[in-house]
């Protein structure tokens, strides 16, 4: 499924990712998350329902408060800070055990960056940030946005810090396919019409998985969210902080909540924005997120038909009709892709076009760009605009190279939870539930959830609740029309956490902090600076 990262970047900004490419776009790619009832749902099989029932009684257990002696060398290491090419920031390398159960069996080296508190005022400590993914670069987020764009009063009182999680970006990145192979992969048809197309889709998933296994056979077994959360505790100790202060967006909320569950006594001020719910199995997560994208699309559709340049219908056209018009356009592209002017010869088929539309659902400021791209594609047979949106989503640069986001996304998600589907037949049986949840995106998102079935490493995680008993107040933020992390996930996570406080933004887009709501920003800043969370249930418009 998608739980990509928070949208604080360039024009289109970061999108909390569906998982792997639109291909894997839903494959639970967002790690353990979801919400609503813990029972089964439409399209859930027996194993899905029983896993959910077990999760209703299982909570993540905290680790012992005392640090095991075998981990002492890691907890007492000293970081060698150095310049890292971006003015105002310094970088270092943190050493962590590859396997926390066998600390002597090898290490993983994690990239860390910080920008020291600017003052004035008493320094509160370090504020660790993570933009989500899984697979988004926390260091890139820090240097491009958080370290310079967070409110001045927050940057004055905190050292702004980021660590790229294991397997991500600068921290021993997992690389599954090269650029040309990724181009082929992202264009694979994810709405197969017959056995031949189904076989090709399965082959694509297998090729991707085999590439990951060949690239990092040992690391691939140790990139779970639990291990990344333990790495954050190492960093907390090495930085000299008694408590962990943290802002996590999208998947970063699952990472932060996991930390709280493992180390409740070390929780400082935790903001979990665009929250994920760890209590449900992968299939339910994907179905919930499919509904989330439909909710966001209908909001876009209502706005589009009020604009004079809406290519999907005019004034008075209903969201249902807008959806049918877009679905018909996707079907035409499935039969006959259109040119894009891409120097590498890529055309715009259904998969890339769908990814481009999904990308724009993460932030309502991209809706105008999406209207223009759809107009060019539908009226002028020119797919460059939608291809640009899709490339932004996949982090593909002009030279044809991809960031390792998609590889890391799959690596973490497929380890954190058992796969949503084991076989194509299971997907086919679930298609009615997914297409009911979203007539526009449901079919593609259901097939995308098959990718982890072919992963070379068995999942080590299971659905579970996170209670973090004894933790200081934790602020959980949810947006009512969030496409990638549906609002009910925030409600569920806030209810699980023993000290959870729910802050609601009634609006569109993915995540809420720093996106224009003075009410949201004031509540979060007050919590970070004074330690005082808003009243549980506070709502902002």
Give the containing element (helix H, strand E) for 321. Answer: helix 319-335
Q: What one-character-per-residue DSSP string does 329-367 give?
A: HHHHHHHS-B----TT---B-HHHHHHHHHHHTT-GGGH
Task: Based on the residue annotation, tell me whether 482 is a catalytic residue of this protein.
Answer: yes
- From 164, 233, 241, 482, the catalytic residue: 482
Catalytic: 510?
yes
**In sequence order, what DSSP letters do the residues of 91-117 get, joined into one string?**
EEEEEEES-TTSTTS-EEEEEEEEE--
The strand ranges marked E within 116-249 are 125-130, 132-133, 158-163, 244-249
Using alpha carbons only, how large is the chain's radius of gyration in Å? 22
Distance (Å, whole) CA 434 – CA 429: 10
Torsions phi, psi for 476 (to 5 deg)? -105, 125
* Beta strands 125-130 and 244-249, pairing class: parallel
36: left (phi over 0), alpha (psi -120 to 50) or beta: left
What is the length of the chain? 541
| Active-site choice (299, 508, 510, 517) | 510
Contacts of 439 (CB under 8 A, 6+ apart): 294, 320, 323, 324, 327
Which of 250, 392, 448, 499 is the catalytic position? 250
Report how far apart, in Å, the C-alpha atoms of 147 and of each of 81, 82, 151, 395, 539 are.
17, 17, 9, 21, 27
Q: Which residues are catalytic?
A: 250, 482, 510
């Amino acid at each position: 499924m998608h739980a990509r990262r928070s949208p604080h970047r360039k024009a289109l900004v970061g999108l909390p990712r569906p998982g792997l490419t639109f291909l894997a776009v839903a494959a639970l790619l967002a790690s353990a998350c979801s919400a609503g009832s813990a029972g089964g749902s439409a399209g859930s099989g027996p194993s899905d329902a029983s896993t959910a029932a077990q999760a209703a009684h299982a909570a993540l257990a905290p680790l012992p408060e005392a640090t095991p002696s075998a981990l002492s060398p890691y907890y007492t290491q000293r970081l060698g800070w150095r310049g890292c090419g971006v003015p105002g920031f310094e970088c270092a390398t943190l050493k962590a055990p590859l396997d926390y159960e066998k600390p002597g069996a090898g290490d993983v080296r994690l990239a860390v960056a910080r920008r020291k508190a600017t003052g004035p005022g008493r320094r509160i400590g370090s504020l660790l940030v993570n933009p989500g993914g899984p697979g988004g670069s926390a260091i890139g987020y820090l240097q491009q946005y958080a370290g310079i764009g967070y409110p001045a009063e927050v940057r004055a009182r905190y050292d702004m810090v980021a660590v790229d999680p294991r397997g991500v970006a600068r921290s021993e990145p997992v690389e599954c396919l090269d650029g040309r192979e990724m181009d082929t992969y992202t264009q694979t048809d994810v709405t197969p019409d017959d056995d031949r197309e189904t076989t090709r889709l399965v082959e694509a998933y297998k090729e991707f998985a085999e590439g990951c296994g060949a690239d990092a056979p040992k690391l691939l077994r140790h990139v779970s969210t639990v291990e990344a959360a333990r790495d954050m505790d190492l960093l907390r100790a090495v930085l000299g902080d008694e408590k962990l202060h943290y802002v996590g967006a999208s998947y970063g909320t699952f990472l932060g909540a996991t930390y709280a569950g493992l180390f409740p006594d070390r929780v400082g001020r935790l903001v979990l924005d665009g929250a994920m719910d760890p209590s449900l199995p992968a299939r339910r997560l994907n179905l919930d997120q499919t509904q989330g994208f439909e909710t966001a699309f209908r909001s876009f559709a209502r706005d589009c038909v009020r604009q004079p340049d809406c290519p999907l219908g005019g004034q008075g056209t209903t969201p249902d009709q807008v959806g049918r018009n877009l679905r018909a356009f996707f079907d035409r592209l499935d039969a006959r892709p259109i040119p894009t002017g891409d120097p590498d010869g890529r055309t715009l088929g259904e998969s890339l076009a769908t990814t481009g539309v999904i990308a724009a659902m993460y932030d309502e400021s991209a809706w105008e760009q999406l209207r223009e791209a759809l107009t060019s594609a539908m009226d002028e047979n020119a797919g460059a605009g939608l291809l640009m949106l899709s490339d932004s989503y996949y982090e593909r640069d002009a030279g044809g190279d991809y960031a390792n986001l998609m590889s890391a996304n799959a690596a973490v998600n497929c380890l954190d939870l058992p796969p949503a589907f084991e076989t194509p037949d299971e997907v086919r049986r679930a298609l009615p539930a997914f297409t009911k949840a979203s007539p526009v995106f449901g079919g593609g998102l259901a097939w995308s959830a098959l990718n982890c079935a072919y992963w070379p490493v068995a999942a080590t995680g299971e659905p579970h609740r996170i209670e973090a008993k004894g933790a200081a107040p934790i602020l959980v933020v949810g947006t009512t029309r969030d496409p990638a992390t549906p609002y009910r996930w925030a409600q569920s996570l806030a209810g699980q956490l023993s000290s959870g406080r729910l802050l609601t933004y009634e609006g569109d887009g993915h995540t809420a902090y720093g996106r224009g709501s003075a009410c949201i920003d004031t509540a979060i800043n007050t919590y970070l600076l004074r330690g005082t969370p808003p009243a549980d249930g506070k709502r902002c418009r």
